[in-house]
């Protein structure tokens, strides 16, 4: 027998054992595997066994008894091989017309009773027995599962030789016998011999080499070894159901083995990682491993980050996508982003109520040490470039009205009645430009953010929190720098005169909308200034409506969530009517301030971010039949055109009913407001304006992108927590809903007035737009954004 135990690049270690009697030594190549010889040194046969003189250099290594045994076994193998060749060639009945040989590939004619292997689909290969023809080419077969089906000839991958009239009920026993004989290590030894001879083989020839037999089971075993092998052999000729395999070059085998071992190591690491995931899933919420524990090991961190990227549809490359898909498959989960999200929640890496949009948009919620240090420096530097020009307005009673949890207070109001009966109001706006200059580190960071982000679970300020709170915000009872816009109103509500100036103020009251509305209703004599402000707001609203303004006041909803990382965090819901006196008061004064700044900018040729919005020829009378509030506002919004911007001159804001408008009252929260402050403050000082109209336009395009992201984050987060709020409500609880419009047939868009959320539901015949109905919440799934309502009968 000719055999190479190892190629030059792959040497086996023979180990000695007590040599068995030759009569008990089976004549099979498998017994030359290293497991049969224990302990000597590495040995490599370079010559055929028929030339034992080539082994003389190794005589000192290999004992005479072992060498004689090897020589005897080789000779017997050669004799047996010759017998088997005669035996195989004498077989008849494989096909009706005998066995036709073309090269090494057997072309067998399919007939009833033959045992064959066929490809069921892309992943399954089955054994079956041919039963009868089905048409001209197809055959009906009965497979190992007892299923009868029709297959095409090209599906057949192997016809087991030496079989006639096989009973399909015996396929399972046949498969069991075959698998007992499978030993992939035999391929290596056959490969070494065939590589040395540069010889190719069929499955039957390999069976003769490694098993010493071409019986059906051994032939099928050889076929399985060859067809599943990805290292030692490759198909060099294929016709129909039979193939010829050739040994791969040694260098290629070495590389394939390296890849195989790497793959096996990766699979081992994957299984260890899956074990970690299963372990983390199995413990209680409070016992989950901390998030940072998943980033200690680089390989574990790579897998976790791949899952995270997959969860938010943000894979940076194919490797991340593939890694995540492999992990999900190993966990028995569908390869979907929602599966990845749920898995990361189950192991405690994500909190139960993780904000996916915050991750998707890669929102930076922390400030660098450099920015925080720069902010500290600004707080320590008390110099004010406008100190000598500020007007002292500390004698005025100043009302700051905002939501109760507001951190950044950037506007406040004052009012008085003049001797001629006209009203004079002041809109005081915080002055962050007394600390921050255009182009500074803090300014560039604020521009990068574009706006503060307000979520039910957290606030991410545009400026570092300490700087915004201590250095910029208006504080009750403290002297604060401000830019004050004063306006004298005509009796009809129009602007009679105005001033824009640097000031110092001392805020008197910090009021919530609720407490301010209560004070307005009480009409207390000692709070006459608040009553005057309310009167001014009513005048302004009336005047704007006369100018064609559209009233879009609706119900506004706010949610504050405490301990959001808990399984059941506390949800506080606030539903506010924008038509309430305090909210009307504040919104009217903010609009008035925006109109004054636009007028001021126009008169002094100051480039500013002027805002406008066409009315789309809205005829307000066409909507007068609809109830004021959410129903009418929803109808207006449906036909409104998009807002526009100009940076050279004011443009009419038809929806607000004013000739021009500039957002100016939130410079701590909105960077576009801060830009307006930079321009106005430079003009007041007599300095050159920091930005041209073109520069403002370029900056605005970037800032508006970030503002849109912030709005989307706010809206999606608010809706999530509103759905979570509804999910927790008792099933029997009823909610009031207004019919906003009909979508199709009796399916209507509804507005839940007690919650402030829109949804759709089927409503009964007779219901009209504007009607109030009662509904139940059938389903609420925050993560899937599902809300199903049913009308109460």
28-44 pLDDT, tens per residue? 343 344 333 323 223 33
Same domain, 634 and 532: yes
pLDDT on residue 29 = 41
Least confident of 19-28, 65-74, 672-681: 19-28
Residue 6 has pLDDT above 60, yes or no: no
pLDDT digits (tens, 9 = 90+) for 719-740: 999 999 999 999 999 999 999 9
Same domain, 331 and 437: no
Structure tokens at 93: 């009945």
Same domain, 307 and 234: no
In sequence order, the β-bridge partners of residue 140 are 132, 150
Directed axis angle between helix 581-603 and helix 528-546, to 10°?
Answer: 70
Same domain, 542 and 627: yes
- Closest among 206, 218, 342 to 277, alpha carbons compared: 342
pLDDT on residue 170 = 95
Note whether residue 780 is domain-resident. yes
- Average pLDDT on 576-592 reads 96
Q: Which residue has the higher pLDDT, 30 or 375?
A: 375
Note whether residue 595 is domain-resident. yes
Tell which of 203, 223, 248 closes a domain.
248
- Average pLDDT on 697-713 reads 95
Confidence of residue 110 (pLDDT cuts 50, 70, 90): confident
Note whether residue 634 is domain-resident. yes
pLDDT digits (tens, 9 = 90+) for 490-538: 999 999 999 999 999 999 999 999 999 999 999 999 999 999 999 999 9
Same domain, 610 and 704: yes
HEC states along 373-423?
Answer: HHHHHHHHCCCCCCHHHCEECCCCCCEEEECCCCCCCCEEEEEEECCCCCE
pLDDT digits (tens, 9 = 90+) for 342-364: 999 999 999 999 999 999 998 88
What's the domain count of the chain? 5
Query: pLDDT exceeding 90 applies to what percent of the chain?
Result: 77
Same domain, 275 and 303: yes
CATH at residue 760: 2.40.50.140
Note whether residue 673 is domain-resident. yes
Can you point out the beta strands (E) in 22-136? 39-42, 100-102, 105-107, 115-119, 125-134
- Average pLDDT on 407-417 reads 92
Residue 102 has pLDDT above 60, yes or no: no
Confidence of residue 75 (pLDDT cuts 50, 70, 90): low
pLDDT on residue 45 = 34
pLDDT on residue 78 = 54
Q: Which residue has the higher pLDDT, 618 or 461?
A: 461
- How many Cα atoms sit within 13 Å of 390 on the Cβ side? 18
Same domain, 85 and 111: no
Same domain, 257 and 108: no
Q: Which residues of 71-109 are buried (b: 16+ CB within 10 A; e: fewer)?
A: eebbeebeebbeebeeebeeeeebbeeebeeeebbbebe
User: Running DSSP on this structure, what letter comes out for residue 661?
Assistant: B
Tell which of 217, 248, 279 closes a domain.
248
Other C-beta atoms closer than 10 Å to the C-beta of 265 total: 10
Can you point out the beta strands (E) in 188-276? 233-239, 242-247
Residue 22 has pLDDT above 70, yes or no: no
Confidence of residue 51 (pLDDT cuts 50, 70, 90): very low
Q: Which residue has the higher pLDDT, 320 or 58?
A: 320
pLDDT on residue 46 = 35
- Average pLDDT on 52-59 reads 37
| CA gap 757, 729 in Å, rounded | 15
Note whether residue 723 is domain-resident. no
Confidence of residue 325 (pLDDT cuts 50, 70, 90): very high
Residue bearing tokens 């135990």: 5
Averaged pLDDT score across all residues of the chain: 86
pLDDT on residue 238 = 82
pLDDT on residue 72 = 53
Give me Rg for the CA atoms of the chain.
Answer: 42
pLDDT digits (tens, 9 = 90+) for 360-370: 998 888 999 99
pLDDT on residue 84 = 43
pLDDT on residue 91 = 35
In sequence order, the β-bridge partners of residue 13 are 42
- DSSP secondary structure string, 597-616? HHHHHHHTT----EEEB--T
Note the Cα 295 to chain centre separation in Å.
19
User: Running DSSP on this structure, what letter comes out for residue 451?
Assistant: B
Residue 69 has pLDDT above 80, yes or no: no
Note whether residue 519 is domain-resident. yes
- Average pLDDT on 545-561 reads 92
Same domain, 386 and 498: yes
Note whether residue 423 is domain-resident. yes
Note whether residue 8 is domain-resident. no
pLDDT on residue 74 = 52
Please give the residue range of the domain that contains residue 296. 252-350
Tell which of 676, 708, 740 closes a domain.
708
| CA gap 5, 43 in Å, rounded | 8
pLDDT digits (tens, 9 = 90+) for 122-151: 889 999 999 999 998 999 999 999 999 999
Same domain, 57 and 131: no
pLDDT on residue 240 = 67
Same domain, 393 and 542: yes
- Average pLDDT on 748-763 reads 96
Same domain, 755 and 685: no
Residue 11 has pLDDT above 60, yes or no: no
pLDDT on residue 14 = 30
CA triple 87-90-96, angle to 5 deg: 135
The three-state secondary structure class of 19 is coil
pLDDT on residue 96 = 28
CB 244 within 8 A of CB 104: yes
pLDDT digits (tens, 9 = 90+) for 278-312: 999 999 988 999 999 999 999 999 999 999 999 99
Pseudo-torsion of CA 286, 292, 297, 303, nearest 10°? 80
pTM beyond 0.95, yes or no: no
């Amino acid at each position: 027998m000719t055999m190479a135990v190892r190629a030059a690049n792959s040497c086996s270690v023979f180990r000695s054992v007590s040599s068995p009697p030759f009569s008990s030594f089976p004549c099979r190549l498998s017994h030359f595997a290293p497991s049969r010889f224990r302990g000597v040194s590495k040995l490599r046969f370079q010559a055929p066994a028929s030339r034992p003189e080539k082994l003389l250099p190794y005589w000192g290594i290999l004992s005479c008894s072992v060498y004689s045994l090897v020589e005897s076994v080789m000779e017997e193998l050669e004799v047996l091989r010759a017998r088997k060749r005669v035996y195989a060639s004498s077989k008849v009945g494989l096909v009706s017309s005998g066995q036709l040989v073309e090269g090494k590939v057997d072309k067998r004619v399919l007939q009833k009773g033959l045992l064959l292997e066929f490809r069921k689909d892309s992943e399954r290969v089955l054994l079956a027995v041919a039963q009868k023809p089905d048409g001209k080419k197809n055959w009906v077969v009965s497979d190992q599962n007892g299923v009868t089906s029709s297959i095409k000839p090209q599906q057949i991958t192997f016809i087991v030789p030496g079989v006639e009239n096989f009973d399909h009920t015996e396929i399972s026993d046949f498969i069991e016998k075959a698998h007992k004989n499978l030993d992939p290590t035999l391929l290596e030894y056959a490969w070494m011999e065939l590589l040395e001879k540069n010889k190719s083989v069929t499955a039957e020839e390999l069976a003769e080499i490694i098993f010493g037999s071409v019986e059906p089971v051994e032939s099928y075993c050889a076929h399985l070894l060859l067809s599943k092998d990805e290292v030692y052999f490759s198909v060099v000729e294929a016709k129909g159901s039979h193939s010829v395999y050739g040994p791969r070059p040694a260098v290629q085998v070495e590389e394939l083995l390296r890849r195989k071992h790497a793959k096996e190591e990766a699979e081992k690491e994957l299984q260890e990682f899956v074990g970690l995931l299963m372990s983390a899933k199995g413990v209680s919420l409070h016992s989950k491993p901390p998030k940072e524990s998943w980033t200690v090991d680089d390989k574990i961190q790579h897998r976790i980050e791949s899952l995270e990227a997959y969860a938010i549809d943000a894979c940076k490359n194919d490797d991340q996508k593939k890694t995540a898909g492999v992990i999900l498959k190993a966990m028995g989960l569908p390869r979907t982003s929602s599966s990845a999200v749920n898995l990361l929640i189950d192991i405690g890496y994500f909190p139960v109520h993780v904000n996916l949009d915050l991750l998707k948009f890669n929102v930076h919620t922390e400030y660098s040490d450099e920015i925080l240090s720069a902010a500290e420096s600004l707080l320590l530097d008390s110099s004010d470039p406008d100190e000598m020009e500020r007007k002292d307005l500390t004698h005025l009673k100043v009302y700051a009205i905002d939501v109760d949890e507001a951190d950044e207070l950037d506007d406040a109001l004052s009012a008085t009645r003049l001797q001629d009966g006209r009203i004079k109001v002041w809109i005081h706006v915080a002055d962050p430009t007394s600390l921050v200059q255009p182009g500074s580190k803090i300014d560039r960071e604020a521009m990068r953010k574009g706006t503060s982000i307000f979520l039910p679970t957290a606030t991410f300020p545009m400026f570092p929190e300490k700087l915004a709170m201590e250095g910029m915000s208006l504080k009750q009872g403290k002297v604060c720098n401000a830019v004050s816009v004063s306006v004298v109103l005509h009796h009809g509500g129009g602007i009679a005169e105005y001033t824009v100036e640097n000031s110092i103020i001392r805020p008197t009251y910090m009021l919530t909308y609720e407490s301010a509305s209560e004070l307005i209703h009480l009409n207390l004599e000692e709070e006459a200034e608040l009553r005057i402000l309310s009167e001014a707001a009513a005048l302004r609203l009336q005047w704007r409506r006369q100018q064609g303004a559209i009233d879009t006041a609706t119900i506004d909803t706010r949610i504050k969530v405490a301990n959001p990382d808990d399984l059941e965090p506390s949800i506080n819901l606030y539903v506010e009517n924008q038509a309430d006196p305090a909210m009307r008061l504040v919104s009217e004064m903010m609009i008035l301030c925006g109109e004054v700044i636009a007028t001021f900018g126009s008169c002094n040729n100051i480039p500013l971010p002027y805002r406008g919005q066409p009315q789309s020829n809205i005829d307000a009378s066409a909507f007068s039949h609809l109830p004021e509030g959410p129903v009418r506002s929803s109808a207006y919004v449906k036909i409104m055109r998009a807002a526009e911007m100009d940076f050279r001159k004011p443009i009419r804001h038809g929806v607000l009913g004013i000739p021009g408008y500039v957002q100016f009252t939130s410079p701590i929260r909105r960077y576009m407001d801060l830009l307006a402050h930079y321009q106005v403050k430079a003009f007041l000082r007599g300095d050159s304006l920091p930005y041209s109209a073109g520069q403002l336009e370029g900056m605005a395009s970037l800032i508006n992108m970030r503002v849109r992201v912030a709005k989307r984050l706010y809206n999606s987060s608010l809706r999530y927590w509103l759905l979570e709020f509804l999910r927790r409500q008792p099933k029997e609880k009823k909610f009031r809903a207004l019919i906003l419009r009909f979508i199709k047939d009796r399916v209507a868009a509804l507005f839940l007035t007690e919650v402030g959320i829109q949804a759709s539901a089927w409503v009964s015949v007779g219901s009209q737009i504007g009607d109030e109905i009662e509904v139940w919440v059938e389903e609420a799934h925050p993560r899937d954004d599902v809300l199903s309502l049913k009308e109460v009968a």
